[in-house]
Amino acid sequence: MLYIVGLGLGDEKDITIRGLEAVKKCEKVYMEAYTSLLSFGLSGDGLSTLENLYGKRITIADREMVEEKADDILSEARVSDVAFLVVGDPFGATTHSDLVVRANTLRVNVKVVHNASVMNAIGICGLQLYRYGETVSIPFFSDTWRPDSFYEKIRINRELGLHTLCLLDIRVKEPSWESLARGRKKYEPPRYMTINTAIEQLLEVEQRRGESAYDEGTSCVGFARLGSEDQMIVAGTMRELLAVDFGAPLHCLVIVGKTHPLEEEMLDAYKHGRGSLNQKDE
């Protein structure tokens, strides 16, 4: 059996009882480590914390392993129980859907254990989940690559009065272009896009496209370390959020669409300069 287990968003304790039971009976445990990260990371003490709670040695599965050696993982799952751990919910990334498709092709049994993900945890800011349009991803710009395919989706969402969740780029164990050209992989340091960088890039695209999808005065909500004890949530205009230090990753951004009074009342508690709702234990 292949168990695909969601870990939630905060730390090692966010795993469900059903998920923990599945992990404890598996012979091999893999941890996907490139579409998202837990708040304490996956190196050093962070990994040890997971292993101590789950009682299992954990193999970190980077992008290369999941995309190029998935059949090896599935071959193990044909003869023993294997757990594949995913931050958030198992289907928060298309990579994990591909793993299920491959498993079905190879006739490997799959059980999924769901958990909280950014897709529903953003409801904490008060914007109703059923009023969101298509989610977009904002990639890091480079000197030679400045894509803007997300712009059209945001524009359509805004025209329909819908909110837009923007997932911000994560670069973990990415080979540099120079090393690929030389035929020898050398990995760049990890990079995590901040809300500030995302807004700068969004405004650059708006200036280039000029279709009035949004501007500096457009209302947004910035989220940092969502689901963790020290999560930070700030509502304000793009201009206001540019001046906020959201601290450590991971970050995401919501571009606000048309709101109703209850949403506005909830957002008011997070307005820039007023602080966030206190979610910490007393």
pLDDT in tens, 181-228: 666 666 678 899 999 999 999 999 999 999 999 999 999 999 999 999
Give kind and range of the element (H or E) at residue 179: helix 177-181
CA-based R_g, the chain, Å = 20
In the annotated binding site for S-adenosyl-L-methionine, the residues are 9, 89, 92, 117-118, 168, 226, 251
In the annotated binding site, the residues are 9, 89, 92, 117-118, 168, 226, 251
Peptide bond before residue 250 is cis, with ω within 30 degrees of 0: yes
d(CA 196, CA 202): 10
Q: What is residue 278's predicted lDDT score, i.e. its pLDDT? A: 47
Map out the domains of the chain with their CATH numbers. 2-116 (3.40.1010.10), 119-269 (3.30.950.10)
Render pLDDT for 114-155 as a digit per residue (tens, 0 to 9). Answer: 999 999 999 999 999 999 999 999 999 998 999 999 999 999
Mean pLDDT of the chain: 89
Q: pTM for the complete prediction? A: 0.88
